[in-house]
Amino acid sequence: MSEKYIPYGRQDISQEDIDAVVSTLKSDWLTQGPTVTKFEQALADYTGAKFAVATCNATMALHLACRALGVGSGDIVWTSPNTFLASANCARYCGADVDFVDIDAKTYNLCVKKLADKLALAKQQNCLPKVVIPVHFAGQSCDMAAIFQLSKQYGFRIIEDASHAVGGEYQGKKVGSGEYSDITIFSFHPVKIITTGEGGMALTNSAELAEKMRLLVSHGMMRDATKLQDCSQGAWYYEQADLGYNYRITDLQCALGLSQLGRLPAFIERRQVLAQRYHEKLSALPLQLPYVAKECLSAFHLYVVCLNDPALRTQVFAGMREAGIGVNVHYIPVHTQPYYRQLGFKWGDFPEAEAYYHAAITLPLFATLTDADQDYVVQTLTRLLQ
């Protein structure tokens, strides 16, 4: 092992970020205070969405989104197999059944053609999904206009899992604008584009969905006198209207988030530059490099290369790790996890996602990655592929 270790992703915390958190620590509100509201408003303004509800992480935001859309036992939710576990688990929390739509071999996003075919079949068999959760893999949006069109034809709702795509664009609009979906989810985990330590956000243009998520994020409790069943008791009085949770984020985290949001354009720009550098320096190697769709600006959460010869993957991966480069693999197809196999899925069910998985390596990409460290990654990969 060499001394140096370059991770695949990491946060960039500035002195301003630190000062913002410290000043919140000295304020009256550590949680449920004005900084949470400010962060929500700032993300709504940034994306163009009408409403934003902040949560303790994106997984819980996905759960709230499913609950707000009425997902429950007997319902079916579809997502991509090439995602983090949470995109599927959120439906299981609600007691719903999960199924997957295989990916496109070029974008690694859920394939719209396969979605259309699967919907046509599901309609015949009377098992249409209630909700589809497209995942904007590596930071590049799915073809949302096409998925939206299918949602009108078949009557399903859409939650965008945009955990990777904070700051990304689709058709010239920010991911999260909600043009083609009901709810969009962001993650602020430290490996993502901006961070709050742990944290998430649900964005929507629907006042009704926003109100439901707002209620569920804090125990299902209401204090608004105009909405209470009984408002004669006194100023202390509250009612629990639904079975909610404590999925709240803190003001400390939102102070960090607000400060990070101000730096988001610079983060995206640096990630774009680094992606372009990888693209140029790796183009002669026996690899499939990330495909950039014309209608998208990718947030480039991940830079994934696929080896033309998947038989070399284990060896190349080990060689990179030995050289102090924290390569990773995103993702092990969700349907192959023991939990999902026990529900009836098996290897072979989604061949594109599996073929992709066997060839993929995630290279380091984060805003503070230096040109010199990136060049070292390129040199090491070049050596291992020779």
Contact residues: ligand PLP, CB under 6 A:
57-59, 83-84, 86-87, 135, 161, 163-164, 187, 189, 200
Which residues pair with residue 110 across a beta bridge? 103
Nearer to ligand PLP, 316 or 334 (CB): 334
Nearer to ligand PLP, 98 or 316 (CB): 98
Nearer to ligand PLP, 83 or 260 (CB): 83
Cis peptide before 340 (omega within 30 of 0): no
- Report how far residue 106's alpha carbon sits from residue 110's, in angstroms, rounded to the nearest whole number: 10
Rounded to a whole number of angstroms, the minimum distance from the CB of residue 266 to ligand PLP is 22
User: 93-116 burial by CB neighbour count: b if 16+ within 10 A, else e?
Assistant: ebebbbbbbbbbeebbbbbbebbb
| Helix and strand numbers, DSSP H then E, in the chain | 12, 15
Rounded to a whole number of angstroms, the minimum distance from the CB of residue 137 to ligand PLP is 8
Q: What angle do CA 365, 134, 329 make, to 5 degrees?
A: 35
Rounded to a whole number of angstroms, the minimum distance from the CB of residue 54 to ligand PLP is 12
Nearer to ligand PLP, 130 or 301 (CB): 301
Q: Which helix (H) or strand (E) holds 67?
A: helix 58-68
Rounded to a whole number of angstroms, the minimum distance from the CB of residue 225 to ligand PLP is 34
Rounded to a whole number of angstroms, the minimum distance from the CB of residue 21 to ligand PLP is 18
Rounded alpha-carbon distances, angstroms, from residue 151 to 101, 132, 135, 141, 281: 14, 9, 16, 17, 41
Nearer to ligand PLP, 163 or 374 (CB): 163
